[in-house]
Structures are given as C-alpha cells and as structure tokens.
Amino acid sequence: MIDYAILSATQAQQQVDELTGVLQACVADGASVGFVDADDDEAMTRFWQQRIGSLSDGDSELFVARQHGRIVATVILSCSAMPNGRHRAEISKLLVHPQARRQGIARELMQRAEQRARVQGKTLLVLDTRSGDVASDLYRSLGWQVAGSIPFYAESTAGVLDATTYMYTVLA
Ligand SMILES: CC(C)(COP(=O)(O)OP(=O)(O)OC[C@H]1O[C@@H](n2cnc3c(N)ncnc32)[C@H](O)[C@@H]1OP(=O)(O)O)[C@@H](O)C(=O)NCCC(=O)NCCS
C-alpha cells in the first residue's frame, strides 16, 4: 500500500531522517542528484533542512510517497521567486528509493506535482536531469520536451563529468 502526501515544513522537519535516507540510498545507487558521496549524510541532512526552510516560506512544496509507513520517494515543486516568473515552477529531487522502484511511484508523484502546479495557475514547468538517465523516459512519456543539453555539467558518483538535459512542459 502506497500513500501520497504533501508535507508541511513541520512534518518534513519531523521526518528529516527518512528524507535523508531516501536521498542517501539514491546517491549510493549512483543517482545524479547533487551529491557525490553517499556517506556524507550530514550534507544531505543540511540540504533537506534548507529545503524545509523554503517550504515554510511557501515558495515550494514537498510531495512524498510512503510505503509501510516510511517515506520512499520525494519530489519538490518550487515556484519562481521572480515577479516575471510567477507562471513558472521547477521540479527537483524526484527520488524513489531503489527498493521501491518500478511501481509507478515516480509517475504518480510527477502527476500530482503537475496537477498542483496547474491549480496554482502555473503554465510552465522546467527541470534538468542527467542525460541518458531513465528519468528522461518518464518525463517524455508525461509530455515533457527537451530544451537542450549541457556537456560536463555535473560530477557523477564515479567521478565523471556528465551532461545534463534541460526539459520543460507547457501546462494546458
Ligand atoms: C527515475 C526514478 C525517479 C523512477 O522512479 P520509479 O518509481 O521507479 O518510476 P516509475 O515506476 O514511475 O516508472 C515511470 C517510467 O520511468 C521509466 N523508467 C523508470 N525506471 C526505469 C528503468 N529502470 N528502466 C527503464 N525505464 C525506466 C519508464 O518509462 C517508466 O514507465 P513504464 O513503467 O510505463 O515503463 C528512479 O529510478 C530514481 O529515483 N532514480 C534516481 C534518482 C533520479 O535520477 N531522479 C531523477 C532526477 S531528475
């Protein structure tokens, strides 16, 4: 049984260890999600603490999936802070714990984040993802388009500089 929720800043703070656990497991599995050392749990906890700060500001929303009562997946929807970008939001940290993959959790989280963005009146969503990762197949299947890619963008957990692909979707 999988359940989905949007966490408040207080709830996210209470569950920061579970959030860090998902991030850490994804990095240990080789994901390109900002971190190169899966043992650096302090840096990952710090990352979540900072993101929780922006939840309280109302600039972003954190969607999670829980399985057997524990957080197994996340995605963040962040609104542009600039007055000329009020129609726009960014998707980040789509993370599914390696043990919870291929059950449609990422697809469901993305659909929920997109629906929420629509309700908030957003008409454009953007994201970037390591070029060639399976995540881009998911985004394409949801109607996202490739804007372009940048070589040597991010260091991988294996120490290689990987390209990133920028994608967008115009919400109907
Ligand atoms: C990418 C990721 C989020 C997918 O999560 P998931 O819950 O397993 O994905 P879903 O089960 O919802 O699958 C959705 C689609 O993604 C694609 N996909 C996901 N995993 C795949 C795999 N191992 N091989 C091929 N396609 C895959 C498929 O198109 C799939 O659709 P389908 O099941 O109809 O074939 C997960 O693998 C992950 O957390 N990876 C590491 C973090 C990361 O790279 N996140 C993206 C950052 S931009």
Interval 118-159: pLDDT, tens = 999 999 999 999 999 999 999 999 999 999 999 999 999 999
CB burial of residue 81 (10 Å; 0-12, 13-18, 19+): exposed
Check if the beta carbon of residue 74 is closer than 8 Å to that of residue 93: yes
Mutate to test the pocket of ligand 1, among 64, 138, 140, 144 (most ligand atoms within 8 A of CB): 138
Residue among 45, 50, 4, 9 nearest 24 (CA): 45
| Cα separation, 131 vs 23, whole angstroms | 20
In total, how many domains does the chain have?
1
| Cα separation, 126 vs 145, whole angstroms | 10
Residue 31 is part of a domain; what is its CATH number? Answer: 3.40.630.30
Residue 38 falls within a domain, yes or no? yes
Residue 113 falls within a domain, yes or no? yes
Model pLDDT, residue 57: 86
Residue 19 falls within a domain, yes or no? yes
Mutate to test the pocket of ligand 1, among 97, 134, 144, 166 (most ligand atoms within 8 A of CB): 134
> Which residue range forms the structural domain that includes residue 17?
2-122
Residue 15 falls within a domain, yes or no? yes
Residue 97 falls within a domain, yes or no? yes
Residue 143 falls within a domain, yes or no? no
The fraction of the chain above a pLDDT of 90, given in percent, is 96
Residue 53 falls within a domain, yes or no? yes
Residue 64 falls within a domain, yes or no? yes
